[in-house]
Structure 1
Amino acid sequence: MSKIKSYISAFRLRTLPLALSSILMGNFIAAYHLSYKWQVGILAIITTVLLQVLSNVANDYGDAVSGADNEERVGPERMVSSGKISTAAMKRTVIVFSILSFISGITLISFGNFEAMSFKAWALFLLGLGAIAAAIKYTVGKNPYGYKGMGDIFVFLFFGLTGGLGTYFLHTGTVDIWLLLPASAVGLLSAGVLNLNNLRDVENDAKTGKNTLVVKYGSEWGKKYHHFLLITALLFMVLYGAFQFHTYWQWLFLPTYILVVKNLRTVRKNEEPQLLDPELKKLALATFFMVLLSGVALLF
């Protein structure tokens, strides 16, 4: 594998649709409310992509250093643990993407619908710094929160509430309280993808001291938790459609529920954790298409 291919593999581009889901939700609803700013829309997507790649390379680096990545790990090959990218080179990559994320985030905030030096701008600036720190600290450092069972909370916050509400806020300078429902739905589904990852890796995580919620409470608990996350997300989307009903086209996203229900059935019946690996991609794409169909329905 060439160096370029190794870095592309480390970027884990397959994770981008899930990362972009809440951003697209915020963009679609802002456009529906006639408040869309194309600079914000484009920069929000660019910043999210940079943050997600930062999270992925930091995860590759952090898990290799901690020993969580080894020959027993299930899932895509990691570049540092496999020796295709050195620890020093990956650390430099983390720094580069931290700087790029910071620059893109600052530029995004400058186009927000509020005064440049206002309280709103400073609040978003601090939130942006928090997003960069969260992307790195998931597996990097002395006390990574991903090793303490806190990854689910941060995924819900940044892949759901921050992405959806934050993007809408950048467009409008206001907060739509109803947006809490679809933003939370995306956050819960994103936490579901992480939970699938933790169910798949439970044995190796337990051996290497990565104390995810599944490691702490067991796989059977993890399956019940998975059902709670996904079913609650589906209910939130239905509630949003019911209370914000304008046209029957708003229900265009409902066919994606078939994919989510299939995922629930697979998880419930699963006895071999490694067989859950394909389900991560399926649930991530189901979330992405749910948002896409929901947004298209709002606009057309």
Structure 2
Amino acid sequence: MATTKSWIKAARPRTLPLALSGIIMGCGLAWFYSAIDATVSVLAIVTATLIQVFSNFANDYGDSQRGTDNEFRLGPTRTVQSGEITQKEMETGMIVIGSLSFLTGLWLVYAGTWHHSKAAFFGFIGLGILSLIAAYFYTAGKKSYGYIGLGDLFVFLFFGLLPVPGVFYLNAGFLPDSIFLPALTIGFFSTGVLNLNNTRDIENDRNSGKMTIPVRIGARNARFYHLVIILGGWIVALIFTLNHFHSLWQFIYWITFPIFMFDLHKIFRIRNEKALDPFLKRLALSTLGFTLLFCIGLLISVK
């Protein structure tokens, strides 16, 4: 029987800061617009955490089925691959976590929409179900989109372009167009984490038939792709700040800019792909730090 330690390992805690960044950004923006709802915000954090854990379980399960998790993989050893958790146990784990995320998501959507828009309620329920389906079919199933190079697009959508405006709307009940700029930033940074993951595993993915973006364009071009998406995130964040300028405090998130640039410099100098692994966690934590400072700057500016 799988141990608690194995389940925590399968949940991959280091991925959670990235999953929470979009939620925190949506809540911070809602506060900036004087439309924060504490119940909605807490439920959004809980639901996002559960969906990310479900996604990690499904990824562990799917890659083990396809043989991508093997002795040649450069990242951390997965739990199903190593036998710490059996496929049957992981299936049960996915059902439990998936069910919990659906229940908390249902409560979240009810709290954020039912009193003012029944149409929005059913629309968000559909998006929630779609999120779980997308989380499962990233690597699991016979037609997993992660194996045909669409992982970046789905991460961009489900970590940035959907959660930020979605959580904002659930808090506020309305949705300004400008909210999509910070959403793009979180989407870009999240895609950067996946790109580093796929660049690290480029050889094993190629040999396993997993046609990620780095496999398609090569390791060197994948680094330039990484540069473009990270700088793109910073550019759209700056555009939002300049368009909604109230105070110099809104630029406090630029404290994290040197960290992003230092890591980019190191990434370009690395030749052993395994050495990229620590930069996944660094980018996830840098994104969370960026998000917290971005939101703190917004809150101070409206006091």
Give your verdict on TM over 0.5. yes
Contact 2:21 2:287 in 1 (8 A): yes
Paired residue type of 1:161:
L
Q: Give how far 1:195 is off.
A: 0.1
* Stretches of structure 1 lacking an aligned partner (at least 5 in a row): none
Cα RMSD of the aligned pairs, angstroms, is 1.3
1:218-258 Cα offsets, whole Å, 9 max, x none, are 11221111011001001111111111101000000001111
In structure 2, the partner of 1:268 is 268
1:52-91 to 2 correspondence within 5 Å?
52-91=52-91
Report % sequence identity: 41
CA pair 116-141 structure 1, distance change in 2 beyond 3 A: farther
In structure 2, the partner of 1:299 is 299
1:241-300 Cα offsets, whole Å, 9 max, x none, are 111101000000001111111121122222111000000011111110000011111112
* 1: CA distance, partners of 2:89 / 2:114: 39
Segments ≥4 residues shifted beyond 6 Å: none
CA pair 148-157 structure 1, distance change in 2 beyond 3 A: same
Paired residue type of 2:119:
F
TM-score, length basis structure 2: 0.97
* 1: CA distance, partners of 2:146 / 2:109: 28
In structure 1, the partner of 2:135 is 135
* 2: CA distance, partners of 1:31 / 1:77: 40
CA pair 172-114 structure 1, distance change in 2 beyond 3 A: farther
Paired residue type of 1:201:
D
CA pair 58-116 structure 1, distance change in 2 beyond 3 A: farther
In structure 1, the partner of 2:23 is 23
Name the SS of the counterpart of 1:111 in structure 2.
helix
* 1: CA distance, partners of 2:98 / 2:198: 26
Name the SS of the counterpart of 1:85 in structure 2.
coil
* 2: CA distance, partners of 1:283 / 1:16: 12
* 2: CA distance, partners of 1:163 / 1:249: 25
Paired residue type of 2:55:
S
1:163-208 Cα offsets, whole Å, 9 max, x none, are 1000001011111211111110010000000000000000000011
CA pair 218-244 structure 1, distance change in 2 beyond 3 A: same
Q: Give how far 1:117 is off.
A: 6.3
1:85-104 to 2 correspondence within 5 Å?
85-104=85-104
Count the aligned residue pairs. 300
1:28-85 Cα offsets, whole Å, 9 max, x none, are 1111211111110000000000000000011111111110000111112200000111
Q: Give how far 1:105 is off.
A: 0.8
1:75-118 Cα offsets, whole Å, 9 max, x none, are 12200000111111011111111111111111100101454762
TM-score, length basis structure 1: 0.98
Contact 1:114 1:173 in 2 (8 A): no
Most deviating of 265-274 and 39-48: 265-274
Contact 1:50 1:101 in 2 (8 A): yes
In structure 2, the partner of 1:167 is 167
Contact 2:113 2:120 in 1 (8 A): no
* Stretches of structure 2 lacking an aligned partner (at least 5 in a row): none
* 2: CA distance, partners of 1:253 / 1:97: 34
In structure 1, the partner of 2:145 is 145
In structure 1, the partner of 2:4 is 4
Contact 1:59 1:139 in 2 (8 A): yes
* 2: CA distance, partners of 1:97 / 1:140: 16
* 2: CA distance, partners of 1:85 / 1:297: 43
CA pair 70-295 structure 1, distance change in 2 beyond 3 A: same
In structure 1, the partner of 2:243 is 243
In structure 2, the partner of 1:190 is 190
Q: Tell whether 2:244 aligns with 1:228.
A: no
Contact 1:113 1:172 in 2 (8 A): no
* 2: CA distance, partners of 1:267 / 1:74: 16
Paired residue type of 1:235:
I
Contact 1:23 1:163 in 2 (8 A): yes
Name the SS of the counterpart of 1:288 in structure 2.
helix
* 1: CA distance, partners of 2:156 / 2:98: 21
1:4-35 Cα offsets, whole Å, 9 max, x none, are 10011000011111100010000011112111
Paired residue type of 1:4:
T
CA pair 2-64 structure 1, distance change in 2 beyond 3 A: closer
* 1: CA distance, partners of 2:45 / 2:76: 25
* 2: CA distance, partners of 1:221 / 1:97: 37
